[in-house]
Structures are given as structure tokens and as C-alpha cells.
Structure 1
Amino acid sequence: MKTAHTLLLLGFAAITFACNNSKETTSTETNTEMTTTETATTNLPYNKNSKYNWEFNPDQKNEAIVLNVFKAMEQLDHQTIGKYTADSIVSNIDGVKFKGTREQIMQLNKDFFATLKTLKVVPTDWRSVVNKDKSEEWVSVWFTQHWEDQKGQRDSVNVFNDIKLKDGKITAWNEYLQHFPKP
């Protein structure tokens, strides 16, 4: 009887391995990222909108612009940020929507920076993407932001930014915050 059970289990295992969905994976490593292409028979509940078909942007120009803006933020330097901002900008910062001119956003930055004593940005990852027809370029950045206000109060948040650039200028800035729980 034990032999029959053993044979039955071995047969089941052989069928399972023989019916295993095959996955073909190809990996190529570039300077800072790993790109993986998978071909599988998984049925997904949604179809992609192939209009965009995003891909990693191998040109690091946009990443450099965004990271220079972050460095200017740390130095509370709204003038340098203005150099990288388009004539008009749209933003959604933690649910607060803004649509206006470079001068308006620079004034908001100046007013905000005046409330701070220090600001520290600690990026953990960033990716630059471009869509198939090269009409949109975005840089996504994950980071922790620490600050001390003029009253000596310190705080920090985890942040995700999605920043749209056109011709080397920021045209849209979306920011989402994850507040740490109060002790």
C-alpha cells in the first residue's frame, strides 16, 4: 500500500513538473539598473494602454536636472529651482493643486523656505522614463525629507515625486507624502 502511495505521489510530481508553465527571462544589466523581459502565459485582469509604452530613459540629463533641483532645495535656494522651471507649471503636492507661472511658484517656494531653518533630502532611488513617441519624459524619485523649522521643530516624511520635464525644464510636479506616526 505504501508503494502505491509513493508511486502515486511520484506520478503527481512528474505531471506537475511536466505541466509547469515555462517562463523565458532575459536580463541585461546597465550602469544603474536591471532590465528584465519576461514572456509568460499569466492572464492579467487588465490590458495595458500601449499608447504610452514607457521605457527607461538611458540619457541621464533629466535625472541630473531633478537631482540639482533637490540639492537647491536643501540649500533653500529658490532662485536655482527657478532656472529649471518652465514658464508655466502644474503641480499636485500632497493633494494641494497648483497651476501657474514660474514667478508664482518661485514666490511660493520662497515663502515656504522662509519657514525653514534646515532641509535635508535623502534620495533612495530614481528612474527616468520616456514614452514610445518621445512626447513625454518623467523622472520618479523616492526619498526621505527631514527639516527643522524656524521654531526648532523637527520632522520628516517619506516622499515620492513624479516630475515631468520638457526641453530641460520642469513642467509638472506631483508629490505624495507618507507621514511617519507621531510618538
Structure 2
Amino acid sequence: MTRLPASFTSLYRLFLRTTSTSVLHHTLATRNLRHLWRSTFHDAAKVIHHLQREPPPPPAVKEELESWLSIWNDRVDNTLALLHNSSHTRGLSHQLTRNLALLVHHEYRRVSEIKYPAWNPQLPADSKEYQIRVPAKSRTETRRDAMKAISDRALSAVSKAVRMAEGRDGIILGSMAVKGKLKRNM
């Protein structure tokens, strides 16, 4: 596989540094924001590799990919401006980056608290131990579910607002894919 152009890798490094300064080098917030935007850069790297591939893509596909990459570059420039502004002021842009970092953190915690059964090689694959038990719900759990439904509706409103802001201002606010270790029942 060919190497990425130096301009792309330097843009990514600049983005990493700017992300750190936008949250005042707070380690957890920096990690969460980097995680939020990593998939965006991964998609752009795939497009660049596709353009560099031998034999080159057909002219129509090449033009479409170059157009996508041009729009992506403009959006990343606008996002870098937002992060730079966030590092120098304590206004709306700083609140936005702080809240994005908190959203990523709490979404990761919410997903990682789902408990899955641990693998036991002595048991057959269809053992009852691997069935996820659904206990009867108490009153507090019913209330908690109602609050979760309200929270989900609120997050869908936030995601709509994020998509509108990305479209109107030409910035990238990232996307979340939770990876890593999940808690297991032992």
C-alpha cells in the first residue's frame, strides 16, 4: 500500500495538536475528541489510497472522489478554525468542544456497561449460560426506562442539530463508533 501524502499526514498531526489545545490539554477530553474525528480522517485516507491505486480509477469515479476530497478539505479547514477559536476563547466554540468530549465519554460509558456473558470453552455453544437473562422490571427500572426514552429522543434532536450545523457552517463534528473492552459477567 502506498504512503499517504505528506500534506495529509501533516494536516492530521495539526488536527491532533489543535484538538488537544482546544480543550486546554485535558487528557480525557483530548482522547474523546480524537476518537470522535478519527473515523473522518480514516475515510479520507481510504479515498486518497483509492485515487493513488494502480490502475487509476475511471475518470468519472476519479472526478467524484476528487470532488469529495475537496469538500472534505474545506470542512476540515473550517473545523480547524473552530478548534483554534476554542483554544483562544472561552465562548460558544469552547463550550461546544467541551460538550462534544463529554458526549463521547458518556456514550462510551453507557455502551460499555452492557454486560455480556463470558466465554467458557468447556460449555457447548448453545448452553443456557450464554443466554442473556432478562429479569423482571422493578418500578425504579420502569422509571429509568422512561427516562432513557426521553434521553434518546433528546439525543436524536441533538443529532439533527449537529447535522444542520455541519451542513450550514461546513464543519465536521465527527462520528462515534464505540470500540474497546466491554464489561463481562464473570
TM-score (norm: length of structure 1): 0.28
Choose between structure 1 and 2 for higher RCO, CA contacts under 8 A separated by at least 6 residues: 2
Point out the structure with the larger helix share: 2
Larger Rg: 1
TM-score (norm: length of structure 2): 0.28
Point out the structure with the larger strand share: 1
